[in-house]
Amino acid sequence: MNKDDFYLSENYIHYLSIEKGLTNNTIDSYLRDIVKFFTFLKDQFKLDINAIDEINKEYLLKYFKEINIEGLSKRTQARYIASLKSYFKFLIRENIIKKDPTDIIDSPKKDKKLPDYLSVAEIEKLLQVVDIKKTLGYRDRTMLEITYGAGLRVSELLSLNTEDVNIELGFIRCYGKGNKERIIPIGEIALDFLEYYLENIRPLILKKLKSKVLFLNSRGKPMSRQGFFKILLNYGNKAGIKKHLSPHTLRHSFATHLLENGADLRSVQEMLGHSDISTTEIYTHLSMKQIKKVYDKTHPRA
């Protein structure tokens, strides 16, 4: 069995790259893990990808028992679990399956990895390379300003409709995970870009078409995840940013910069749409790192 024997579309690879923020090496590992899993099912149970709805607890437990027998490290086993969970979550989202068989598998506890984020100076460099004299350039700058200015997930950004924007009160409404609504204030700079975009730029892109979607591609259709990802990478390269860059990087930067400048954790949690504050707490590590850096640099006894 190989990658062509089951559902591994470009959409899934983009899902891993853009929404999960995985590196190419990790994505390759995930794909190999999925091939290994379905090869096991085919060899042991004569079960192929066409019977994916039949995968249940029994199959999963026998598979994980098998990889334990192989003497794999706990880290590798954890990756196997993560790769399968990610794959089935994607299939649920695409309405290919109705029930996630990996729900019964607990992921092993791991140290939380500090997310990549850009400094304030790097954010400025990224924004300044955009040519706002061009119609699409102004659209791009507005998208970047809103993503960073409101800490949006890429799915939240691209699902915004014009009715979700309140210029007068200075906020946007978005729908996060579980279709949970939240209201997020946006700063004066982002608000100015958004107002001009709505009044002058979006009509030029839309032409004679009709759409409620806020951000459109060059053909007047809703912007895709892949489209925005390419736009971001292009500007990242122009700005000379060497860090891993994805829409989520801007979200991480939003949270980090708020905390570094004195925002309280609960407020940041609300703006990010985290259901559990422990998810937000990872950013305090980044803030404490910055505080320690300032202390070491400025305190006479450091």
Give the residue numbers annotated as catalytic, written as ranges. Answer: 153, 177, 248, 251, 274, 283
Residues 6 or more apart from 127 whose CB is under 8 A from it? Answer: 141, 144, 145
Identity at 269, one-letter amino acid code: Q
Q: Cβ–Cβ contacts within 10 Å for residue 275, how many?
A: 11
Q: Bridge partners of 125?
A: none
Half-sphere exposure of 69 (CA within 13 A, CB side): 6
- The four Cα atoms 142, 285, 230, 157 give a dihedral, to 10 degrees, of -40
Residues 6 or more apart from 158 whose CB is under 8 A from it? Answer: 213, 215, 222, 223, 224, 225, 228
Closest CA to 253 of 27, 21, 23: 21
Rounded to 5°, angle at Cα 112 from 93 and 65: 65
Rounded to the nearest 10 degrees, what angle do helices 135-150 and 120-128 cross at?
160
- Give how far Cα 291 sits from Cα of 9, 141, 299, Å: 44, 31, 11
